[in-house]
Structure 1
């Protein structure tokens, strides 16, 4: 599958020349900056994910205060990290977001738009860790529900007023931006004759009718049967799935076990533990944004093709954290260095946001939401198994158990990276094409 797809896409040049060059050279530009509708959508999604994750984490903190009989209106000083498999609730949010971006994000802006939105997850978590505890201590735990729940209800109304399915149905988008987005996405889906892209100004209406027909087909394609057999045989899809499983194993292993490691091995108190455990959220959020900007810069300057960019950022986001984990057991008694390495591991892993996470839309924009649901399921399974495996290893011997836990996570990340580099792709797969949309 991989060889066939790459050969059919090669044409007269490399993948970068085939995909990015025509988009840059032959399409109208739209540089409306932060005032554009697509940037507005990224901001709305960022706030939505911020609110969703703040609600989830604040609920976890409020439950601790509710069940703490000795401090009925207080907070114990740390979030109940055992409740994080609760991330299964995200099974609806992220596929819906990817379905939107498949119709809104131009290929050369996809990384930064999606990563700006995704950064809301970690910033929302960090905000809730700081604010929810203060609310419990000063006002009492019921006000966590009143305040965060009220904000969620208000933002839900804003969501229905501000978000539209695609540029063709947005009432406030400029004609220039609408043409820019729709033409790039239509060109990505089907290879059209060169003469169609050299139409004179009088043919603009005809071109826009083609794009509107393309979007109409996109909207109606949800009722068609899914190519499940082709998906199951797709090595690029399996590459993303395996890499997501391995990455999420490391991510959730650190996320859920880092407070325990700091307490039992590094002997930090609760206040130090809570602060240090929350720092990676800030680094992870900033890393998402920076990685998205850098990935799109490399694509826009045609330094690398889509597949190369996705593999580069996946390599950085998977290999470096694995190296840091392997180094931790050999640091010795330097708790500061250990904390720095673990924080860097959780920060740098955000670079996969411009790699495997976005690759769903690269290979199958039509089914991006469905594919994310599949890979996210594997990630959830990894997030459930990883803390359990750590608990079993640590229960046998503290020092050796933690060392083995770090080594297993690093080895899985290395395996997932090798598999992704070998079989990953940056081009739309044959089973996901929209060739019939313009016939």
Structure 2
């Protein structure tokens, strides 16, 4: 269910990226026996960048509060309610766009606010449900749903746009999201000790093997000073920021790149844009399986595993984006972008799981803090891409690839020197409570 939830979360996040291509394209309209070519929405690339980035303006707001709420009130209800409201706001996206440019921005900001609870909430869930030597595997399986949702969502949005209309994309996801919430609310529980069908043997196993012993975090005030003075925490934050710069750059602008630069139609744009995320979803789960396999057999320490996967991800992406910038062949450019984004999946077993290593108790809050900063690229990157690619020429995209590559290298280097997979001195304290 969490896998499907993240699939919907990302489907609702990226559907505008595909729909927007059709919304601003020239269309043939017949009026009074005259053929007219016109755009439904006459937005330039800068305005399009603002629209795509507006989601993250709201997304940032609920990262830190979402981490605290999820840790205190429970991850499952926080995750579910956040997705429910995201679905409701998605239903209003098309009417808002037709009403006004600012109305569309406002509804996307509200979507971002609702969706901002998702990632911190999932860390709160796994802090009480995932055995210590299975947290990489379970976390990456769950969160790989986001990339699966992108794989399905991009071509699906293209098909819906081509066969029905761009607005059908938003109505489809809004309805499916509400249905998902009803099922989630009915069958998912916050804590193992509250689940009606868990056996005493299963509960005892979780008490012995989960970071919080199958219980929930206590509502004590977090050790803010210790967290902010922790080099391993800052290593995660920098890696998360740099990773998300490249990730959000391509998540929001790949359909535009493939349509305007590569020259594909709206249907093929959706399928081509999905290829990198198919690769990413595979490497994400592969990385999680390998990470916990090596940790369980003491092949490598947790610290070594986290650094290894993050280094592979960051430098692999940087290398292939630099190669992409030199490609003249459209097929080669598509292949290199696909491989580059695919390397990102290994990083999820590095920096993205690392919060659970440093402090199971405050993992949701830590993720909220790093994801708050890592959401800034979601706002800045689409606007910058729109500014750099005003003429939509291949050479203008070279700078886009170079900027992302430089940040990948920075994030990989900082994480390599300062990261840790060990539980920190300020991380202790938990209790099991009934809700």
Selected match of 1:254 from 250, 254, 273: 250
Contact 1:390 1:401 in 2 (8 A): no
Instruction: Label 1:383 to 1:151 Cα distance change in 2 as closer, same or farther (>3 A).
Output: closer
Question: Counterpart of 1:156?
Answer: 181
Question: Counterpart of 1:180?
Answer: 205
d(CA) in 1 for partners of 2:282, 2:227 = 33
Q: Which has the larger radius of gyration?
A: 1
TM-score scaled by length of structure 1: 0.73
Selected match of 1:380 from 361, 366, 375: 375
CA drift of 1:370 comes to: 1.0
Q: After the TM superposition, which residues 139-218 of structure 1 pair with which residues of structure 2 at under 5 Å, given as runs?
A: 144=169, 147-185=172-210, 215=215, 218=216
Instruction: Label 1:144 to 1:392 Cα distance change in 2 as closer, same or farther (>3 A).
Output: closer
Query: Is residue 47 of structure 1 aligned with residue 72 of structure 2?
Result: no
Instruction: Label 1:261 to 1:50 Cα distance change in 2 as closer, same or farther (>3 A).
Output: closer
Query: Is residue 93 of structure 1 aligned with residue 88 of structure 2?
Result: no
Question: Counterpart of 1:349?
Answer: 344
Instruction: Label 1:160 to 1:417 Cα distance change in 2 as closer, same or farther (>3 A).
Output: same
Contact 1:288 1:351 in 2 (8 A): yes
d(CA) in 2 for partners of 1:392, 1:142 = 27
Selected match of 1:225 from 204, 213, 221: 221
d(CA) in 2 for partners of 1:155, 1:436 = 31
CA drift of 1:166 comes to: 1.7
Instruction: Label 1:248 to 1:144 Cα distance change in 2 as closer, same or farther (>3 A).
Output: closer
Q: After the TM superposition, which residues 8-27 of structure 1 pair with which residues of structure 2 at under 5 Å, given as runs?
A: none
Contact 1:244 1:376 in 2 (8 A): yes
d(CA) in 2 for partners of 1:229, 1:52 = 33
Question: Counterpart of 1:202?
Answer: none
TM-score scaled by length of structure 2: 0.74
d(CA) in 2 for partners of 1:397, 1:237 = 39
Bigger drift between 116-125 and 261-270 goes to 261-270
d(CA) in 1 for partners of 2:167, 2:262 = 34
- Structure 1: stretches of 5+ with no match in the other structure: 1-43, 190-210
What are the superposed Cα offsets for residues 240-267 of structure 1, whole Å, 9 maximum, x if unpaired? 0000111111112223333444345444
Query: Is residue 423 of structure 1 aligned with residue 418 of structure 2?
Result: yes
Bigger drift between 59-68 and 168-177 goes to 59-68
Bigger drift between 278-287 and 303-312 goes to 278-287
Instruction: Label 1:63 to 1:330 Cα distance change in 2 as closer, same or farther (>3 A).
Output: closer
Selected match of 1:120 from 145, 152, 159: 145
Q: Which of structure 1's runs of 4+ aligned residues deviate more than 6 A?
A: 62-69
What are the superposed Cα offsets for residues 89-120 of structure 1, whole Å, 9 maximum, x if unpaired? 23211111111111111121111111111111
- Structure 2: stretches of 5+ with no match in the other structure: 30-38, 41-47, 60-111
Bigger drift between 98-107 and 270-279 goes to 270-279
d(CA) in 1 for partners of 2:120, 2:171 = 28
Contact 1:122 1:282 in 2 (8 A): yes
d(CA) in 2 for partners of 1:428, 1:120 = 27
Structure 1 vs Structure 2 CA RMSD: 3.1
Selected match of 1:108 from 130, 133, 139: 133
d(CA) in 2 for partners of 1:143, 1:155 = 18
d(CA) in 2 for partners of 1:136, 1:409 = 30
Contact 1:241 1:375 in 2 (8 A): yes
